[in-house]
């Protein structure tokens, strides 16, 4: 029998529940749990760990519960403090300890604002209106102790959110659908890079691709991490009307794209060796070496077989061209896609024509070679760039 996964509640719901408890405490009511109406109509029952009075208001602590979603903030404390403002004033949302501040345009809030997203703000306003009336105005400070360290394990530094975590949640309910939530957390990178002026962007699978792209002199502000969701991010690029995208990544990932696999997690689609072997065979790789490629444990091992046969450059170039074409077809030609295939240590294996054009826009000029350079990274840069 399949186990039913437990839902939890977001940091935004924690903040709204904390504000509710703090307001009721100030009015003389002791609160141990809050029944909160989430923005999708779900009734959440959220325990309150502690409430204290402050000089002008009150503060409450709620412990985040993520259910069965693998969320890094599970078990963290969310502390919400309020101070009353004059009736009719503008609400103020303040980033306390461990909550970030927005520093780049392109997100749902402008630079300078506390990273307390619109959904949580709406929940807090609604909670206050139920207790104090529609005209109530408050200064609300949200803190997440330890949030600054946790934020280093999120996309916040890339998005330009500094100093801590974001207080998030579109509804308040955290359902165990981590893949969908993760995909939605990736997409804002495109908006941030676009707001920085980059209508052409560089998509990398992860931190290795980002590091190698920077080593090649490509602008870090134009780099967007796709994780395994290459297809989803290409669709987002088309929807947001980017001009071009440069897929810049390791052979292991981009060989899958060449085969038409756009969710590149190894449990979803892993035909790397079969793809490399097929392209090798098409270029004349002997059957014994084709079998060695098929039996390889890593793409580096497969690449060594191609190098022995003197076919590595041609096969990787073919893969780059094919990956670009498959990616363009995936978004029905809405955007053109350049592809640059690299090794883990940053050596370039294959570049399609569109990638060369995109590279020139960024001041990067690739000079094709007939074989893979086995020298140092600096030697590689000298032979392939001007």
CA neighbor of 91 nearest in space, from 125, 53, 114, 127:
125
- pLDDT score recorded for residue 373: 38
What Å distances lie between residue 339 and 131, 199, 257, 354, CA to CA? 56, 17, 10, 7
Burial class (CB in 10 A: 0-12, 13-18, 19+), 31: middle
- pLDDT score recorded for residue 383: 30
- pLDDT score recorded for residue 201: 97
Within the chain, where are the H helices? 11-26, 118-132, 147-151, 156-159, 178-186, 188-195, 207-215, 230-239, 251-258, 272-282, 287-294, 299-308, 312-330, 353-361, 377-384
Tell me if the domain spanning 8-178 has CATH number 3.30.2110.10. Answer: yes
With a cut of 50, which residues of the chain have pLDDT below it? Answer: 1-2, 368-386
* Residue ranges matching CATH 3.30.2110.10 in the chain: 8-178
Looking only at the bridges linking them, the beta strands covering 77-84 and 58-63 are: antiparallel
Q: What percentage of the chain exceeds 90 in pLDDT?
A: 68
| Dist. CA 190–CA 73, nearest whole Å | 24
- pLDDT score recorded for residue 108: 85
Q: Structure tokens of 39?
A: 């923005």
- pLDDT score recorded for residue 175: 61
Averaged pLDDT of the chain: 88
- pLDDT score recorded for residue 39: 85
């Amino acid at each position: 029998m399949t186990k039913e996964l437990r839902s939890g509640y977001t940091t935004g719901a924690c903040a709204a529940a904390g504000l509710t408890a703090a307001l009721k405490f100030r009015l003389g009511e002791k609160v141990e749990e809050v029944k909160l109406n989430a923005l999708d109509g779900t009734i959440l029952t959220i325990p309150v760990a502690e409430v204290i009075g402050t000089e002008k208001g009150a503060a409450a602590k709620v412990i985040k519960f993520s259910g069965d979603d693998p969320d890094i903030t599970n078990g963290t404390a969310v502390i919400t403090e309020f101070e009353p403002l004059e009736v009719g004033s503008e609400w103020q949302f303040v980033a306390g300890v461990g909550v970030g501040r927005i520093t780049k345009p392109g997100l749902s809030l402008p630079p300078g604002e506390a990273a307390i997203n619109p959904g949580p703000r709406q929940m807090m306003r609604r909670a206050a209106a139920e207790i104090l009336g529609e005209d109530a105005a408050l200064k609300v400070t949200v803190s997440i102790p330890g949030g600054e360290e946790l934020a280093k394990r999120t996309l916040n530094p890339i998005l330009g959110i500094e100093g801590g975590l974001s207080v998030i949640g579109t509804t308040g309910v955290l359902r165990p659908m981590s893949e969908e939530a993760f995909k939605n957390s990736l997409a804002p990178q495109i908006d941030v890079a676009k707001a920085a002026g980059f209508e052409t962007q560089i998509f990398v699978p992860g931190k290795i691709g980002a590091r190698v792209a920077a080593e090649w002199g490509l602008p870090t502000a134009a780099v967007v991490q796709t994780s395994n969701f290459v297809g989803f991010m290409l669709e987002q690029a088309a929807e947001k009307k980017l001009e071009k995208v440069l897929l810049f990544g390791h052979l292991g990932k981009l060989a899958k794209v060449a085969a038409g696999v756009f969710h590149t997690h190894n449990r979803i689609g892993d035909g790397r060796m079969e793809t490399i072997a097929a392209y090798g065979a098409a270029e004349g790789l002997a059957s014994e070496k084709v079998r060695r490629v098929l039996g390889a444990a890593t793409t580096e091992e497969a690449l060594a077989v191609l190098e022995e046969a003197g076919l590595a450059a041609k096969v990787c170039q073919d893969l780059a061209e094919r990956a670009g074409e498959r990616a363009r077809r995936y978004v029905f030609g809405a955007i053109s896609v350049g592809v640059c295939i690299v090794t883990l240590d940053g050596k370039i294996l294959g570049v399609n024509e569109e990638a060369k054009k995109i590279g020139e826009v960024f001041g990067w000029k690739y000079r094709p070679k007939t074989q893979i350079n086995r020298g140092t990274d600096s030697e590689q840069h000298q032979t392939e760039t001007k």
